[in-house]
Chain A
Amino acid sequence: MNVFDIAYEYRNFFLSGLKYTLLLAVLGVFFGFVLGIIVSLLRMSKLWILRFIATAWVEFLRGTPMLVQLFLIHYGLPEFGLEFTPIQSGAITLTINSSAYLAEIFRAGIQGVDRGQVEAARSLGMRQGMTMRYIVLPQAIKNVLPAIGNEFITIIKESSIVSMIGVADLLFEARSVTTITYEGLNPLIVIAVMYFVLTFTLSKVLGILERRLNTDDRR
C-alpha cells in the first residue's frame, strides 16, 4: 500500500489520534500559559522563599527529560496514592513542562518593558497588580510573542511522548496501523505530515496575530 492508501484506509485511526494530540496540546498550552505567568511573577517576587520555589521549579523542569517527568507522574505518584489516567498524566506533564519554559520567556518580556512605563502607571496611583495587568503584561507578551509561538509548537510536537503511557495520540495510532499492516514507514509519514500541518498553521496564525499587535507601533 502506498502512503495515500494508508492515509485513506486508516483515516479513522489517524483522526482519532489527531483528536487526542490536539486535546493534549490545547490543555498544555492553555494551562502552561497561565501557570507560566504565575511562575514568572513568583520568580520576581520580593519574598525570597517564593523566588526560590519558582526558580527550583523552572530549573528542575528544564533540567530533566520530559519523558522522565511523564513516567514520574504516571508511574511514580501512584506510590504516594496519586493516580491519574494516561490523559491526565499527559496533560499535567505538558502543562508543568511548558510552564517552566514560558515562565522564562515571560520573565524576559516583563524585564524588557521600559521602567518608565511602570513609573508612569504608579505615578497615576495604579497599584502594582494593576500596573502589571494593564501596562506591563500586554507589552511584555507582545514583545515575546515569537518565543511563545516556538514554545506552543514545541508542545504540539512533544505531546507525542504520551503514546509511551498508552494515550492513543497520533504516534500511538501510527504504530497501531503499523501493527495491522506491517507497513513501517508510511503511517509515520502520514502523521509527520499531520504534525507539520498543525505546527505550520499555528505559526502562520501567530504571525498574523503578531502583525496585528504591531499596528500600534506603526509610524
Chain B
Amino acid sequence: MIAVNNLHKSFGKLDILKGIDLQIHKGEVVVVIGPSGSGKSTFLRCLNLLEQPTGGEITFEGESITGKKHDINVTREKMGMVFQQFNLFPHKTVLQNIMLAPLKVKKQQASEAEKIALELLQTVGLADKRDAYPAQLSGGQKQRIAIARALAMQPHVMLFDEPTSALDPEMVGEVLEVMKKLAEDGMTMVIVTHEMGFAREVGDRILFMDGGVIVEQGDPSQVFGNPQHARTKDFLSKVL
C-alpha cells in the first residue's frame, strides 16, 4: 500500500533520515519506536509530505506521491493523521471539527457528513460532546475527537504521531483503547509511540529507528523478546 524507497530528509546540514526503505501492507499495523531524535516523527511526517523529503521516493497505492506533478492534497484525503498536540480547531465545536473537511474537501451533503460524524463520536465514546468546544475537553477527549476527525475523511491509512505523549497518564488508556479498536477493524496504521506495552500488543510489525535509519524490524515478539542489534537491546533495556 505504501512503499518507501531510499528516503532522505535533511534540515540544512543536519541529516535526519538517511535512507529508509519500507513496505507497508493493507491492514498492517506498523509501530515505530526509537529514542528521541532518531527521526521517527520526521519519517511519519514525510509519508503525507508534511515534511518534503530531500531524496528518495514514496508511493501510495501504486502512485508516486513525491513526484513534482502529483497533487498531494488528493492523497492526503486518504491518509488520516493524528498529532501529539491534537491540533483541534479551537474556534469550532466538536461536530464542526469533524465535519469541516468532509464538507469542504469531499463536498459531502451536510446531512451525510453529520450522520458519519455522529457515528464516529459514538465510536470514540464522546457522543455527548458534539456541541462542546475543544477548550472544554480533557486531553484524552481531545485526542479521541482528533481521531474521529481524521476518520471522517474515510482514510485508507492512519498515521499517529506520538498520540499519547502529551496526555496525563490516566488518559493514555482511553486513547489507546480507541486505536486498538481501529486496528481490530482492519485499519492500516503507522504509529510512532513510546507506549511499549501497546506496541507489543497491537503492532503487527515493530520498527526500531535510530540515527535516521531503521536499525531493526520484525514482529513484536522478535523485536521485544529477542532483539538482534546492540542499539535495540540498549534502547529496550532503558524503556522496558
Q: Which residues of A contact B (CB under 8 A)?
A: 114, 116-117, 119-127, 130, 134-135, 138-139, 142, 215-219
- A123 and B79 form a contact (CB under 8 A): yes
Number of interface residues of B (CB under 8 A): 31
- B76 and A124 form a contact (CB under 8 A): yes
- A125 and B91 form a contact (CB under 8 A): no
Nearest CB in chain A: distance from B63 CB, A: 15
- B135 and A123 form a contact (CB under 8 A): no
- B87 and A125 form a contact (CB under 8 A): no
Which 8 A-B pairs have CB atoms at the shortest separation, nearest pair first?
A125-B77, A120-B87, A124-B101, A123-B81, A116-B87, A216-B133, A125-B76, A125-B105
Nearest CB in chain A: distance from B232 CB, A: 30
Please, how many angstroms separate the alpha-carbon atoms of A121 and B87 in the complex? 9
Given contacts A123-B48, A124-B153, contact A216 B87 (CB under 8 A): no
Please indicate the chain A residues that have their CB under 8 angstroms from the CB of B87 in the complex: 114, 116-117, 119-120
User: Is chain A's interface secondary structure helix, strand, loop, or mixed overall?
Assistant: helix
CB-based nearest B residue for A133: B104
Given contacts A120-B89, A126-B104, contact A216 B135 (CB under 8 A): yes
- B90 and A216 form a contact (CB under 8 A): yes
Please, how many angstroms separate the alpha-carbon atoms of A216 and B133 in the complex? 6
Q: Which of A114, A130, A139 contacts B91 (CB 8 A)?
A: A139
Task: Say yes or no for B74: interface residue by CB 8 A criterion.
Answer: yes
Q: In residues 119-151 of chain B, which contact A (Cβ within 8 Å)?
A: 133-136, 146, 149-150
Please, how many angstroms separate the alpha-carbon atoms of A138 and B92 in the complex? 10
CB-based nearest B residue for A216: B133
Please, how many angstroms separate the alpha-carbon atoms of A159 and B89 in the complex? 38
- A125 and B73 form a contact (CB under 8 A): yes
Given contacts A116-B83, A134-B104, A219-B136, contact A123 B76 (CB under 8 A): yes
Nearest CB in chain A: distance from B156 CB, A: 12
Nearest CB in chain A: distance from B74 CB, A: 7
Please indicate the chain B residues that have their CB under 8 angstroms from the CB of A116 in the complex: 83, 85, 87
- B90 and A217 form a contact (CB under 8 A): yes
Q: In residues 82-114 of chain B, which contact A (Cβ within 8 Å)?
A: 83, 85, 87-93, 100-101, 104-106
Nearest CB in chain B: distance from A141 CB, A: 10
Please indicate the chain A residues that have their CB under 8 angstroms from the CB of B106 in the complex: 125
- B74 and A119 form a contact (CB under 8 A): no
Q: Which of A122, A135, A142, A218 contacts B76 (CB 8 A)?
A: A122
Select the residue from A142, A216, A217, A218 with max chain B CB neighbours within 10 A.
Answer: A216
Given contacts A123-B48, A125-B74, A130-B105, contact A218 B135 (CB under 8 A): yes
Q: Which of B50, B74, B104 contacts A123 (CB 8 A)?
A: B50
Please indicate the chain A residues that have their CB under 8 angstroms from the CB of B91 in the complex: 138-139, 142, 216
